[in-house]
Chain A
Amino acid sequence: MKAAVIVFPGSNCDRDLAEGFREAGFEVSMVWHKDTDLPQGLDVIGIPGGFSFGDYLRCGAIAAQSPICRAVVDFAHKGGHVLGFCNGFQVLCETGLLPGVLMRNAGLKFVCREQTLRVDTADSPFTNAYTKGAEIMVPIAHHDGNFSADAELVARLRGEDRVAFSYVGNPNGSAGDIAGILSENRRVLGMMPHPERACEGIHGGTDGLGVFKSLTEVLALA
């Protein structure tokens, strides 16, 4: 199983994300943002956390226009699996692959702590290793994680079972306590928390590994 991690100037969770994939058994290649082509035979692409292009203009906006992101969008449109954590979620929203926007935290402060999440669906390639309704502990670290969506979009995401994770105790003002969402075809996941920082014992917990393990289940059947 092959994964690629996209690296932008200012990405700082790219190697952690690669370790998360490896921990679940993926072979990982790192892809620089100026590349225009993705490696052959990819099963999944990861967009890492960090501060791509210094968060200039809007978080993720410049990265979303980089050459490699065009290839990522094409990959997703062809049914490929893509995940984005933290800044990766912001980038995916800016490309239009996921709806909504991540705005400044309601409390205006950077929040960095362990966060309890509820798994809202086990029916996705990223969450099938969890039980629906389970609570897991995953770190968060962001300044612009306030998921903004109107009531109609929140209702649609809930109605279509596209909320992957919710916050238990909303840390940033996100609409509907939403922490992570799925695309219409359920093959694109964006979330503000950092599962890749909860994959090995040394991290203090392994609740995040399920996201990567879920993918291996789905890809093994493909």
Chain B
Amino acid sequence: MKARVHIMLKTGVLDPQGEAIRHALGTLGFNGVEGVRQGKVIELELADGTTEATVKDMCEKLLANTVIESYTIELS
């Protein structure tokens, strides 16, 4: 089985990299980009039977820094 973890900065946390991307898009002529947020995706190959609770534990302990980041888990 697989899990895909999406990690994003929490709302309200400034994202200077996203802001730089927004500026670059403007420079390329893409008007109307009002905001860009950059996050990351981590794909995990897991032994069958691994629970969502275990993946959540991984997120809390290592994959995300919950002071500034939120995460969502997709199992497939």
**Hey, which bits of chain A sit against chain B, CB under 8 A?**
57-58, 61, 65, 94, 99-101, 103-108, 146, 148, 173
Q: Smallest Cβ distance from B70 to chain A, in angstroms?
A: 14
Q: How far is the CA of A58 from the CA of B17 in the complex (A)?
A: 14
Chain A, interface SS category: loop
B20, B61, B62, B68: the one within 8 Å of A103 (CB): B68
Q: Smallest Cβ distance from A73 to chain B, in angstroms?
A: 13
User: Known: A101-B68, A103-B68, A148-B68. Contact between A61 and B62, CB under 8 A?
Assistant: yes
Q: Contacts A100-B67, A148-B14 known; list 11 others, CB within 8 Å.
A: A57-B63, A65-B61, A101-B67, A103-B13, A103-B16, A105-B16, A106-B14, A106-B16, A108-B17, A148-B13, A148-B68
Let me know if B51 is at the binding interface, CB within 8 A: no
Q: How far is the CA of A106 from the CA of B13 in the complex (A)?
A: 12
| Shortest beta-carbon contacts, A-B, top 9 | A101-B68, A101-B67, A104-B16, A108-B16, A106-B16, A108-B20, A58-B65, A65-B62, A101-B65
Chain A residue at smallest Cβ distance from B63: A57
B8-32 CB contact bits vs A (8 Å, 1 = yes)?
0000011011001000000000000
Cβ A57 vs Cβ B62 within 8 A: yes
Cβ A104 vs Cβ B17 within 8 A: yes
Find chain B residues with CB under 8 A from A108 CB: 16-17, 20
Q: How far is the CA of A125 from the CA of B13 in the complex (A)?
A: 33
